[in-house]
Chain A
Amino acid sequence: MFWPWERAKEGLREELDSHLNMAVAERVAHGEDPAQARAAALRELGNLPLIRDVARERWGWMWLENLVHDTRYALRQLRSAPAFTATALLTLAFGVGANLGVFQLLYAVILAELPIPHPEEVVRIQAARTPFDQSWTISYPAYQRLRAATPEVPLMASANAQDATLELPNRASIEATLAPVSDNYFSGLGVAPAAGRLFVLADERMGQDEWPAVLRYDFARNTFGSAQQAVGRHLVLNGRAFVVIGVTHRRFLGDITGRAPDIWLPLALQSTGAFAFSWDSLGPGHDVSLDKPWYDQPTIFWLELTARIPPERRAAVLAHWDQAFRNDRVVMTEATADPALKAARLQVKTGVAPLSENGMSKRFTAPLTLLMALSASIFLVGCLNLANLQLARLNTRARELSVRMALGASSGRLLRQIVLEDALLVAGGSACAFVLGRAASGILVRWASNRNALFMFDLHPNLPLAALGAGLMLLSLLCFSILPAVIFIRTGVAHTAGSGAKVVGISQTAIQRFRSNMLLGTQVSLSLLLSTMAGCFAATLVHWETVDVGMDREHVLIVRPELHQPRYTDHSEMLPELYRQIQERLQALPGVRSAAVEMCGGIHCGWITALYVHGRSGLTDEQAHGQEDHVGLGFFSTVGIPILRGRDFSAGDTDKTQRVAIISRAYARQLFGDEDPIGQWVGYVPAPDDHKFMIVGEVADARVNGAEREAPPVVYMCINQNPAPVNSIRVRAVGDPRQLADTVRQALREVDPTLPVSEIVPLATELNGDLGTNKLLARLAAIYASLTLLLIAIGFYGVMSSRTARRKSEFGIRLALGATRRNIQMLIVGQTARILVAGILPGAILSIFAVRAAGHFLYGSVSANSLVIIAASLVLACASFIATLIPARCAAFADPLETLRSE
């Protein structure tokens, strides 16, 4: 036998039997009649089962035995109600899982600290904003000065570099994200290596044959099998040789939330010119040579600073740095024409900002908090629903429970059995929830990410997550099991302790009915809230996916060639001819309306520039600044930006003719107001060099920075007048641009067999790929709304079927007395209607507040959102009525004789 006490029990029975036999034998030996002897011996022995029980208690495992019994009983109960079990498991899995998934993301994005010692000491240093990008980056000489000023303070610098192509022997090349950092980066932060070593001062030497590289743990493992195996391996990145010197600690994902670099490199690597760095400078006309190494140029701003300073020393260190930085501040404001702005910028003091204050937390704090609130409501709906089902279920079990109580079961034991049953459900549901939550946070990250850059977070299970999970488990157990069971045992069983007839015929007391109606009503309110939010978010997403961006979003294909190779960059004078051939070849393809090259590779790419108007002084920085892009012939007709005035670039615009420019409506309004911009002269710098370009055309505004962002002021220059490698070729198709991808790739191969094409993607995909936050909100809210809708339907079905079952005999009498089946149905449906009205009214008010509160994420007016509330109410009502009609029909079409006879 499986359980040890079963064997022991068997032994005890045998032992008492042998005792009895001996007693009988002795009496018989004394001459008693065997039958009488047996009866007397039994009498002497006493209550056998009681003796057994008492003896068993002495073994000290009664509680365990009871628990096993109760567990077995609970499992049997759960198996006998598969619909309830499945509903409860799914509800808990989704209710808890959704919360865990969203919380894990929330924690990773907002709450988590860097996995380093004393993360609170590490801050970003904000010395001065750069003239154009307004970023907090400074030059390399300035960085060296600051570092020298306070040798005891670890001051780390990092740069922003574009992804590079990683080549490994015998493998397909992949794109790797890079993080160029100063030699003291890891030591300053306090990051430990998982294998090998991290950067030291010697790694910053210029002109190394083989550069050192540090890999991220997971990247190393995925690429080389393990951290240890990665150390010492040789790689080729953008054609340069590297050796892996170490792998970081597995939890360290860089210092920027969501953006985990694959490879860390020394800053000195910039001198190779093989990598594309983000930078800002004083603009054309100042002493800037981008082609030469940047380490000795004080006018190229490319380093972001991070320092580890204990809070109490911060003020002193910053004052020290202000001193050292004074000259650089003057240099950085040289290009600022606006005197007031310049004076203000010179007054700026060096400041600090916590690492947690980043774009990621700014962008996601509000949406994730909102999602957390929605997740909490779905959990609540789930618990209410289960509580209601539980009450209904207990009511149907009333007779069984009351009989058991009458037979001597203690109410404590009954309560324990019911709670144990639900504890099993909660445990099972939570196990599913943890799995679901883990999967969900991964999916959420993918939804929130932009199309090209997947966010990377540390999603390891952590203590707060476990605490939340355990808390939700206990809360759900309390809500849907302990409270209903206590309420029921206290009231329900007492009422039903009478005869069977009374049990069958018992009418729910008013208070019981009110309780379950209120639970249902609250669910309806919350569900309406969730459905409304889902509707609003979906409408918003659809809006941004279809909004007029000023370009032909449905027919344009973005082709990304890899022209940043010495073969092209060293012979840029050949490029206009290459562009002409590409355009001609592509336009000859069937299905292609036109094609053109563009410097920008996609959205968010135009660089910030400044234009000054010849013959007009006093332009503020705000008026002068705009975005710049260099485009080939036929660009505007290809992407579908209409030319409003003047002309397009033509074949006559070359590097030998007058430089020309085309500006967008917004830029024209900024620079010239309502004047005609055509024929005006502009330049990158104020007078006297303010007449480099002549404006020959004005085009309509286009949302080139993404559908959600306002159309920026853009100036377009002709790429043939300043030939440079382009990042994209735009192709406008007659029909679906996706179908052209292969023919375009083939055609490009015919023009230049050596030109690699990295990606071909429709403009619509590119634009929609940027709507991460909207997508996250819309999809998750939609899932929540459909789940609650399902829960509501199950809730109505469960409660109404339990009620109709209880009132079966009443309906039988009603039918017998002449009520029609329709009357009966209306009786039940009427109950649902009342609950719906009671739930929808507060729900609608709640939804209006919620829509107001979330207005920041929603597009559209309040009235449009009110329509969504009405639509959501209708959907809710439909689902509830359908769920009610099933038991209502059952009740109405039951044979009255049959039901009365069963009485």
Chain B
Amino acid sequence: MRETPKYQNKIELLQGTLDMLVLQALVREPMHGYAIAQVLRSRSDEVFNVETGSLYPALHRLERQKWVKSEWKLTEARQRAKFYQLTALGRKHLASDHQRWLQLVRAIGAVMVPEAQP
């Protein structure tokens, strides 16, 4: 039986990063919501446990912004599911988001350089 990760172990996602993560998850192939949640969890070593209550509103928001589009298809297990696919617009947006994120990380890294101890 698998241990469910405790809430305390999870890292609160920075505002706006969920969109980027979701878009990134969709870069390679179209996916349904459950798969996106799984991918985010496994790639982050179980750190990001994206709540359904955030994921689906985010997906619907992205769809409304035309960054993803959706289609009902059958999964490998012959189950009907809604697959989300990155659009060209979404790809462009992801690129710029990624760029900004790298900038942010660099900037934070630069600020957080351990000071030489006197």
Contact = CB atoms under 8 A, between A and B. Distances in A.
Interface of A: 11-12, 14-16, 18-19, 21-23, 25, 30-32, 44-47, 50-51, 54-60
Interface in B66-99: 75, 77, 79-82
B60 A21 contact: no
Contacts of B77: 22, 25
Given A15-B32, A16-B56, A58-B61, 10 more contacts: A16-B52, A18-B80, A19-B56, A21-B79, A30-B2, A31-B1, A47-B53, A50-B53, A55-B57, A58-B57
A51 B53 contact: yes
A32 B61 CA distance: 34
Interface in B88-112: none
Contact of B32 (A18, A25, A45): A18
Contacts of A55: 56-57, 59-60
A46 B52 contact: yes
Interface in B4-34: 4, 32-34
Given A22-B34, A58-B61, A59-B60, A15 B82 contact: yes
10 contacts: A16-B52, A16-B56, A19-B33, A22-B34, A23-B34, A44-B52, A45-B52, A56-B60, A57-B57, A59-B60
A12 B52 CA distance: 12
Nearest to B77: A25
B64 interface: yes
A25 B78 CA distance: 12
A57 B58 CA distance: 11
A44 B60 CA distance: 20
B34 A18 contact: yes
B19 to A, nearest CB: 12
A32 B1 contact: yes
A56 B60 CA distance: 8
Contacts of B56: 12, 15-16, 19, 51, 54-55
B31 to A, nearest CB: 12
B51 interface: yes
Nearest to A45: B52
Contacts of B59: 55
B75 to A, nearest CB: 7
Nearest to B49: A44
A61 to B, nearest CB: 10
Given A19-B34, A32-B1, A45-B52, A54 B81 contact: no
A46 B64 contact: no
B79 A22 contact: yes
Contacts of A32: 1
Contacts of B79: 18, 21-22, 25
Nearest to A27: B2
A883 to B, nearest CB: 56
A25 B59 CA distance: 23
Nearest to A31: B1
Contacts of B57: 51, 54-55, 57-58
A46 B1 contact: no
Contact of B81 (A12, A18, A30): A18
A725 to B, nearest CB: 87
A22 B81 contact: yes
B52 A19 contact: yes
A895 to B, nearest CB: 56
